[in-house]
Amino acid sequence: MLISVETPVFKGLRLQRCIDSVLHQTSKDWHLSLLWDGGDARSREILEELEHRDLPSVSVHYGPNRGIARARRFLSEHAPGDYILPLDDDDALPCHAVERFAAAAAARPWASVIRARREIVDEEGAILAERPWFPFEARHYQHGMVTDIHNHSQPTIFSRAAYERTAGWEGFEDFSYAGEDCDLYLKLEEVGTIELIDETLYYYRVHDERASLVLTDQAAFEMWRRLADRTIERIGLPLRRTGEHPPFDYERVERPPLSSADVDFVVAGEGGGAAALGETGVGADAVTLVGAESAAALAAGWKAPGRPLVCFVDASLELAPPADWKRLLEALEREQLDLAAPRIVTSEGAVTCGAPAFDLERRPVMATAPGRAEASDLGAPWLHERLLLVRREVLAAVGGLDSGFEAPRSAAIDLCLRARQRGFRCGFLGEMAFVGPAPTARAIPPSDLERLHAKWAGAPDLLGAKGGGQLLG
């Protein structure tokens, strides 16, 4: 694993200390890329001297001043590395920063962003007794949208794979292309999770020439407002921002009524499901067949943009007539749900997918007792994959299903957890039943359970036990 430390260079007074903090890392798994962004003469001299040393792990580039976002974009497009670590030219890293970030990335391969703490230091590098300027905590959400857009600061590393799924570094031209960091943070959390390391891995230097002093509070608030509105539009959330200063509030915007014509179907496995959909009036262009019953197949099955809803469905189910689909959609709208799943029973009435829960060991389980299975749970902790109806904006907000899982059920559980984390609502519609054969080999693989527990160990509110049951095998 290689971490690409990327630094746009404008001023030279504090640059050498920045460079030295990278050259003296305890780990060698880094590459330092610097871009002279039309800076002062001293910064150029330092870079030319560094370039003459011909260090294999250092790349130096020169160009005219283009603004911070475009400088960062150039570096990320031309630098190597599996992860990107932005470093400002007046700041520094502790000697173990790369080592610690690399270890965290290896332990959490699903993360798009890994963030650690920073200390504020003076000109001489002495730590100042100041409270953090930005909160160091998990992000907060309302109806799927980030409320605390300002909750972001160095140090972070970004997964390059996640970065390449976004539009990359951008900024606001009327603010000298600033705002690029909060903007990218918002986009990255739409394709992966944000993980926190409770450890200081960055030194932020305060002085009278730092770039952040150029922007006023009014400018920062304006950029945050624009970023909120832009993100709502990009994801397709039916929301309107009501607040002027973060943390923002959002209100729902009324949507048109749903019908079966608003659903894209992803049909997994073998069976008559696809043909049955055609008999209910669903067009062939609304159906995607994925032969393999795997998390990776489901993850690749949904497309964006598309219809407002996506339904992941097991091909072996005896899909219901249009009237039952209408009831399902009406329940989704009536209860303001973002993800929903019905009960699944065999032709003899035996429940195969009942009320979902986590047991005392935080394993995902389903109740099979008729009384429990027939009751709806509009605050369900997770939903099964055999017939899962999801609003498209949920998939856009969380990046779809995690193909790092093996089993479809594991990926569906993880999707529900990420959706609930962002403030979306899951509902188990137990009064509605769809018929299908008893599933085979539905037990969750141990490697998937391990991944689920590793991803969500820090979110006990999402993994709280809700009764007993047994894993379906």
pLDDT at 472: 33
Residue 35 belongs to a domain = yes
Distance CA 381, CA 139 (A): 20
CA pair distance 224, 244, nearest whole angstrom: 9
Per the structure block, which two tokens stand in for 159? 């997964």
* Same-domain check for residues 204 and 151: yes
Residue 76 lies in a domain: yes
Split into its structural domains, the chain has a count of 2
Question: How much is the pLDDT for 145?
Answer: 97
Q: What is the pLDDT of residue 103?
A: 98
Residues 303 and 389 occupy one common structural domain: yes
Same domain, 290 and 182: no
Say if 229 falls within a structural domain.
no
Beta bridge partner(s), residue 339: 390, 426
Q: How far apart are CA 212 and CA 216, in angstroms?
A: 8
Domain match, 17 and 161 both: yes
Q: Which of 194, 215, 236 is the last residue of a domain?
A: 215
Same domain, 100 and 171: yes
Q: What is the pLDDT of residue 212?
A: 60
Q: Based on the domain organization, do 277 and 130 belong to the same domain? A: no
Which one, of 156, 165, 192, lies nearest residue 4 by Cα?
156
Q: How far apart are CA 205 and CA 25, in angstroms?
A: 19
Residue 226 resides in a domain: no
Whole-number pLDDT of residue 209: 66
In a domain, 470, yes or no: no
Mode of pairing for the β-strands spanning 339-345 and 426-435:
parallel
- Position 114 scores a pLDDT of 98
Structure tokens at 108: 């959490």
Q: Smallest Cα–Cα separation from 137: which of 196, 75, 180?
A: 196
Q: Specify if 109 maps to a domain.
A: yes
Range of the domain at 368: 260-456
Q: In CATH, what number is assigned to the domain containing residue 298?
A: 3.90.550.10
Does one domain contain both 288 and 144? no
What pLDDT, on a 0 to 100 scale, did the predictor assign at position 390? 97
Residues 141-170: tens digit of each pLDDT: 999 999 999 898 899 999 999 999 999 999
Domain boundary among 215, 248, 273: 215
- Residue 461 in any domain: the answer is no
368 and 289 in a single domain? The answer is yes
Q: Please state whether the predicted TM-score (pTM) of the whole model is above 0.75.
A: yes
Distance from C-alpha of 301 to C-alpha of 401, rounded to nearest angstrom: 10
196 and 290 share a domain?
no
Same domain, 211 and 264: no
If asked whether residues 204 and 296 sit together in one domain, one would say no
pLDDT for res 368: 65
Residues facing 113 on adjacent strands = 158, 194
* Residues in the chain with pLDDT values less than 70: 209-215, 272-275, 368-373, 441-442, 464-473
287 and 404 part of one domain: yes
Any domain includes 295? yes
Single out the residue in 182, 215, 248 at which a domain terminates: 215
* Phi, psi angles (nearest 5°) of residue 224: -65, -40
